[in-house]
Amino acid sequence: MKNTVRIIALALTLMLLCACALADAAQPTTDRAGNEIALPEEINKVVSLAPSTTQLLIDLGLADKIVAVDTYSAMYYEEVADLLQYDMMTPDNEALALLEPDVIFVTGMSFAHGENPFQPLIDLGACVVVLPSSYSIEDIRLDIAFIADVMDVEEAGQAIIDEMDKTIAEIKAIGETIEEKKTVMFEISALPYIYGPGDHTYLDEMIELIGAVNVLDGQEDWVFVSEESALAMNPDVIFTSTDYIEDPIGEILSREGWGDVTAVANKAVYPISSQTSNQPNQHIVEALIDMAKAVYPEYYEALDEAA
C-alpha cells in the first residue's frame, strides 16, 4: 500500500513538473526578429515605440500598462497622449532605463539607419522586443499573436485575428467574382517622390483582395515611381495616404500633364487613411473596406462596416 502511495505521489509530481515545463515552453524565448529575450514573470510596465503596437495594446485592453510611447503614438491615440514620449529612431536610453519597464516593444522602423539604437538598454538587461517591419498580412497576424502571447492575453489576441480574418474573407469572396479588374496605383507619398507598394507588401495583397490589379506588380517591396513611369502606367484608380500636405487629392488632380491619366480624367482619386493603411495591425481591414468601396462601389455597397 505504501509503495502504491509513493508511486501515485511520484506520478503526480512528474505531472506537475511536466505542466510547469510546458507552461515555460509556451512563453516566447525569442522575439519576432529571432533575438533571444528573457521575459519577466509579470509585465506591468510597458514602453511601446511604434503606433501600430500601441494601438494593438490599447485594443487588447492593456492601455493601463503602457508607461511611455513614441511621439507618433501620442499624436494618434488619446489614451496615451499624456504619457512620456520618446523618438523611436533616436531613443533616450538613459531616460527609458530610469522607467524600469518590464518590456520595451520596438519595430524595424527603429533600425532604419542600420544600427541598434537600443543596445545600451539591452546591455543593461532591459527586455527589448523587436518586431520587424511587416510585409504581409500573415506577418501582421503573427505580430498580433506574438504580442498577445508576450502580454499573456492570447484569447484576446486570437479574437482580434478572427475578426480581422472574417472581414478579409468577406472581401476576398467578393473580389474573386470581379472579372473586369481595374488598375490601381497607391501613393504613400506625393510628387516629386512618389512611393508605392510593390510585390510582397500587405498593401499589394489588399489591392488584389478587392479584385483590382496593382500597377506596381512585378516590382519588389516599396517602390520609387518616377513621374514618367507613373504616367505610362495610366492607372484607372489612384489611392493616396499622403498626410503631410494640405490637399493630397487636389494635388494629384491638378498635376501638370496628368489630365489624360484615366484616374485623373475620371476623378477616380481617393484618400485612404494613413493610420489604417500604413500601420501594420488589425486596422488595415478598415483601409481594405475603404479601398473596396472606392474602386467597386457596386460590388461592395452592402459590405458590413462594423469590422
CATH topology of domain 29-133: Rossmann fold (3.40.50)
Q: Where are the domains of the chain?
A: 29-133, 165-300
Mean pLDDT across 209-217: 97
pLDDT of residue 32: 94
- Please indicate whether the domains covering 29-133 and 165-300 agree at the CATH topology level: yes
Grid cell digits, residue 215: 500597377
Query: Mean pLDDT in the chain?
Result: 90
DSSP state letter for 237: E
pLDDT number for residue 182: 98
**Percent of the chain with pLDDT strictly greater than 90:** 82
pLDDT tens readout for residues 179-205: 999 999 999 999 999 999 999 999 999
Nearest CA-CA partner of 287 in 133, 181, 171: 171
Given a cut of 70, whether residue 4 has pLDDT beyond it is: no
* pLDDT tens profile 28-45: 899 999 999 999 999 999
CATH superfamily of 165-300: Nitrogenase molybdenum iron protein domain (3.40.50.1980)
Q: What is the pLDDT of residue 130?
A: 95
Sequence letter at residue 22: L
Residue closest to 91 by CA, chosen among 124, 61, 63: 124
For 241-291, write each residue's pLDDT tens digit.
999 999 999 999 999 999 999 999 999 999 999 999 999 999 999 999 999
Cell numbers that stand for 29 in this block = 524565448
Look up residue 206 and give its three cell numbers.
489588399
Predicted confidence (pLDDT) at residue 1 exceeds the cutoff of 90: no
Does residue 238 surpass a pLDDT of 50?
A: yes
pLDDT at 296 over 50: yes
Spatial distance between the Cα atoms of 54 and 49, rounded to a whole number of angstroms:
8
Residue 2: the pLDDT is 44
pLDDT digits (tens, 9 = 90+) for 95-134: 999 999 999 999 988 887 778 889 999 998 999 999 998 9
- 3-state SS, residue 104: strand
Residue 26 pLDDT: 60
Residue 24 pLDDT more than 80? no
> ∠ CA(249), CA(251), CA(255), 5° rounding?
125
Answer for the pair 109, 50: CB distance below 8 angstroms, yes or no.
yes
Residue 300 clears pLDDT 90, i.e. is over it: yes
- Please determine, for residue 16, whether its predicted confidence score (pLDDT) is greater than 50: no
Sequence-distant (6+) residues with CB within 8 A of 22 are none
- Arithmetic mean of pLDDT, 154-169: 98
Q: For residue 182, what is the DSSP state?
A: P
pLDDT > 70: percent of the chain: 90
Q: What is the pLDDT of residue 298?
A: 94
Indicate if the pLDDT at residue 18 is higher than 70.
Answer: no
